[in-house]
Structure 1
Amino acid sequence: MADKHRINFEPVDIEMEVGEDEYILDAAFRQGIHLMHGCREGRCSACKSFVLDGDIQMEDYSTFACNDAETDEGHVLLCRSTAYSDCTIELLNFDEDELLGGIPIQEVRTRITAIEPMTKDIVSLQLQPVEPTEYEFKPGQYSDLQIPGTEEHRSFSMATTRSTPGHVEFLIKKYPGGKFAGLLEDGISVGDEITLTGPYGSFTLKDGHVLPVVFIGGGAGMAPILSLLRHMSETGSTRPVRFYYGARTPADLFYLEEILELGKTLTDFVFVPCLSESAEPVPSGLPEVEEGNVTDIVDRREPDIHRSEVYLCGPPPMVDAALELLEVHNTPKDQIFYDKFTSPAFE
């Protein structure tokens, strides 16, 4: 039996128990405490905190998320930190409403109802919860899907909303050599079962916020943004919305009709597909298409982006470029939310 220790979080005055055989973030989830987090792999820094007192050790993390100087000062990533004594930790990034009010982590047995290609390399995987029969999550969050027959999992964002708890959709990019990609090609089929665990992530709209919203997405980053758009439509949100989606060619665009229909129910909605390659004809019916990299187009069209809440989701290079752009525009960090999809090496 692993030794147990007490963790006290400041400045929120919350205490919890943690074992030496689990990461601090996992212990928090287990006890219904929803700390800020992102990738849960030690690569994004969303859960970065500061150790005020106690013995904590980190393992298997990226120095881009927490560099050597920061670790020397006492910074840690809670998703990769284990406590070996009672500790006091200062949370550097937290949402008081989420801390004790998040949706509990669930393990759900699901059945595949559809596997549909959306583009040449993005697939819609649709699941029906079997036990329990409903899956609760907040729009914008993600789940771990277990690779059948193994202990491994992969993380994917939901594209659906809480209005369909008996139907869950994931948009998954197929990478060459990827284990889950291989299953989508020839390994799983309609009727098969997959276990999912979740929900995770803080890529969610915050209650009571009124700033305009700018979505910047690419690839399978469409999924959580589509979930948020569906949610805003269902709840009658009146916040102005801009959605910039980066793709290579028109053939890489999908869900266009639904996005435009959702836009009719939203306030001051503009959807801008951004194509880095434009050799193919653009589908009819689109209000406007821009040529170039998505971040360059956002830079030109959104001079006041620092007065918006910005949601980023897509390939790491796109997210990194967008974060640099937002820094140049002096966008407050508490107005920026992002999911950085891992590279093929980690798919």
Structure 2
Amino acid sequence: MGDKHRVRFDPVDLEIEVDEDETILDAAFRQGITLMHGCREGQCAACKSFLLDGDLQLDRYSTFALADYELEEGYVLLCKGHAYSDLDIELINYDEETLRSAKPLRDLTAEVVEVAGLTHDISLLRLRPLDGVALDYHPGQYVDITIPGTSEHRSFSMATTPATPGELQFVIKRYPGGRFSGLLEGGPDGIAAGHELALRGPYGAFTLRERSERPLLFIGGGAGMAPILSLLRHMTEAGVDRPAVYYYGARTAADLFYLDELKALENVLPDFRFVPCLSESNGDGSATGAPGELECALGLVTEVVERGEPELAERDCYLCGPPPMIDAAMALLTGAGVPHDRIFYDKFTTTAPG
């Protein structure tokens, strides 16, 4: 262990103790503080803050998350920052509702119940926590799953809610040669029912802001379905009746999944719409998909949102999916007058393939 220092956060009047050997973000987790964060790998910029005073040094990070000129101006990444003196840091992104609502981090072992294909490149992974140890988490959060036989991990969002403590579901995009996702493709060395996996979590601030009564806009794509589905399932369990619409972007109808459940939610949630969006037509110029030849909107998901939602400024917006989709959605929403503090996103970055 290294020397310990005090880190004060403005403008929330909050102070924590940080060891030199841990990142500022990890120190906050340890003390029950939920600072804004995403990938925790120095790639997504969700934890970007401004160093007002003190000696802070950064581990390796991506310049896409923190440009060189930003570093020179005083911006830092809390997921890669180590304190070597007392620090005064200004939080750029923070949420009073979630700041002090951290769930305790815990390590647990879970048994694989099922690995099933949802599309040609997306799998469902169902796990059952062992030893009676349930994971306490906020809907929309994620865990780290250790790659079997290694000390490496991959991060995946739960599609379930704490209302089903005996099961955790994950929607995982498979990448060719992926260190973890490739193990979901079957074969003698793959992950299968009965195997055990090590988990650590929960992490993430992609959670429903319960105090708000504003209408909700969800925009997702790919495996970004998981945390949004968790939020929607939570809304049904908690009786949330805020108007909500979910735009989900896919390439073709073959890339859509969970359609039955999402359409059924329109009959459960009092004012909810699900709008599947296809960037490519079915070859005949149509945009339909099973079940029942479900009508889909044609175009990139952000294009469909722009056409279908002329009044965006008064919504709370939740975005989850690949970085290009998030970047396009952010530009659309901010251009339409949505304040930054009403846009919540989970950008699915990757540290390495799969």
TM score, norm. by length of structure 2: 0.94
The residue that corresponds to 1:191 in the other structure is 194
How far did residue 234 of structure 1 move? 1.0
Identity of matched residues, %? 58
Aligned positions of 1:115-130 closer than 5 A: 115-130=115-130
CA shift for structure 1 position 221: 0.6
Secondary structure of 1:305 counterpart? coil
1:288-303 equivalence runs, <5 A:
288-303=295-310
**Equivalent position SS for 2:270:** coil
Q: How does 1:309-320 map to 2 (within 5 A)?
A: 309-320=316-327
Distance 1:264 1:318, change over 3 A: same
Q: From the superposition, tell whether residues 77 and 344 of structure 1 become closer, same or farther in structure 2 (CA, over 3 Å).
A: closer
Pair 1:204-2:211 in alignment: no
Match of 1:268 in 2: 271
Match of 2:72 in 1: 72
Unpaired stretches in structure 2, ≥5 consecutive residues:
none
Q: Which moved more, 1:310-319 or 1:4-13?
A: 4-13
Shift of 1:344: 7.9
Give ranges in structure 1 of 5+ residues lacking alignment: none
Tell me, in whole angstroms, the C-alpha distance in 2 between the residues paired with 1:10 and 1:246: 38
Displacement after TM superposition at 1:124 (Å): 0.5
User: Which deviations, in whole Å up to 9, do the C-alpha atoms of 1:171-227 show, x marking residues without a partner?
Assistant: 000011111122112321111111111111111111211111111111101101111
- Matching residue of 2:344: 337
Separation in structure 2 between the aligned mates of residue 309 and residue 295 of structure 1, nearest angstrom: 16
Provide the residue aligned with 2:329 in structure 1.
322
1:133 aligns with 2:133: yes
Distance 1:297 1:286 in 2: 19
Please give the residue correspondences for 1:1-347 in structure 2 after superposition, counting only pairs within 5 Å: 1-185=1-185, 186=187, 187-279=190-282, 282-285=289-292, 288-343=295-350, 345-347=352-354
CA contact (8 A) 1:109 1:193 kept: yes
Q: Deviations over 1:122-150 (max 9, x none)?
A: 11001111145211111111111111111
Summarize deviations over 1:61-120 as a string: whole Å, max 9, x none. Answer: 222322222212211110010111111212222222322222111111111111111111
How many Å separate the matches in 2 of 1:287 and 1:238?
25
Q: Distance in 2 between matches of 1:188 and 1:145?
A: 12
Per the alignment, do residues 137 and 11 of structure 1 end up closer, same or farther by CA in structure 2, a change over 3 Å counting?
same
Q: Distance in 2 between matches of 1:344 and 1:198?
A: 18
Q: CA deviation at 1:51?
A: 1.5
Query: Structure 1: which amino acid aligns with 2:342?
Result: Q
Contact 1:178 1:344 in 2 (8 A): no
C-alpha distance in structure 2 between counterparts of 1:259 and 1:300, whole Å:
21
Q: CA RMSD in A?
A: 1.6
Change (3 A) 1:335 1:151: same
- Cα distance in 2 for partners of 1:63, 1:305 equals 31
